Amino acid sequence: MSSFTKSAQQWATFARSWYLIDARMQPPGKIATMCAIRLQGKHKPIYHAISDIGDHVVVMNTRHIAFSGNKWEQKVYSSHNQYPGGFKQVTATQLHLKDPKAIIKLAVYGMLPRNLHRRTMMQRLHLFPEEDLPEDILQNLTEELPQPREVPRRLDEYTQEERGAFPRLWTPPEDYRMK
């Protein structure tokens, strides 16, 4: 903006921001793409791969992520510790119960570019399984990002007026005993 001093403009352009994402009832893949874009700095017009302009991203409620389909049972995370017989395959359920942050961590790791910057970008990603964040991180947060998926409402979250306003599609016959 023309009204800022040069030093103020420089600060605003190159400062590292802290973003917050709530992963409750969200698919971990979509959360991971949002994180990866901001960790690389691709959301900024001054992006370049060499200049280290990625931001910090804090993801909370990673324990409450929601997979679509039957991925909790079907998706398999494999690892090999390079010893013979060291090939381990673990379903998403088992991995999530063992470590609630692992699924999002692995997803973001796979979406970042495969170079030496990846490790530094992963250090700037902060994952928390629940909503309680430490004080110093809370003070650093600048912006909360909107959730990628619209969470549907349960039946008991609808008020009585809304349920009454919805029309009855069919009338039961008089001699039918309902339910």
Partner 1 sequence: MYGHVVSIPKGHNSKMAARCVLGSTWSSLSAVRSRANSSNVSIFQKITSCPRMLFFGSVQSRAIRHVVEKKEGNTTILEGLTEDAHVGPQPPNPTAPCPIYRWNLQNKYNYTDVLLLSQFIRSDGGMLPRRVTGLCAQEHSKIAVCVQMAHRAGLLPDHKPSLPEGHIPKKPNPQLNRYLTRWSIDSVKPIYRAGLKWCKKRISVGHPALKDNVRYGKKILYLKH
Beta bridge partners of 20: 58, 144
Q: How many residues bind partner 1 (CB under 8 A)?
A: 38
> Least distance (Å) from partner 1 to the CB of residue 73?
4
DSSP 96: H
Q: Tell me if 97 sits within 8 A of 77, measured CB to CB.
A: no
Amino acid at 173: P
149 to 178: interface string for partner 1, x by CB under 8 A: ---xxxxx-x---xx--xxxxxxxxx-x--
Give the span between the Cα atoms of 4 and 82, in whole angstroms.
56
Q: Tell me if 31 sits within 8 A of 111, measured CB to CB.
A: no
80 to 99: interface string for partner 1, x by CB under 8 A: ---------x-x-x--xx--
Q: How close are the terminal C-alpha atoms of the chain, in Å?
A: 66
> Least distance (Å) from partner 1 to the CB of residue 71?
6
> Least distance (Å) from partner 1 to the CB of residue 101?
15
- For residues 34-73, which are near partner 1 according to CB under 8 A? 64-73
Token representation of residue 138: 């809370």
| 138/151 with CB nearer partner 1 | 151
> Least distance (Å) from partner 1 to the CB of residue 26?
9
Tokens 């250090």 belong to which residue?
Answer: 123
Residue 131 interacts with partner 1 (CB under 8 A): yes or no: no
| 27/54 with CB nearer partner 1 | 27
Q: Tell me if 60 sits within 8 A of 130, measured CB to CB.
A: yes
Is 92 strand, coil or helix? helix
Question: Which residues of the shown chain bind partner 1 in the complex (CB under 8 A)?
Answer: 25, 64-76, 89, 91, 93, 96-97, 152-156, 158, 162-163, 166-174, 176, 179
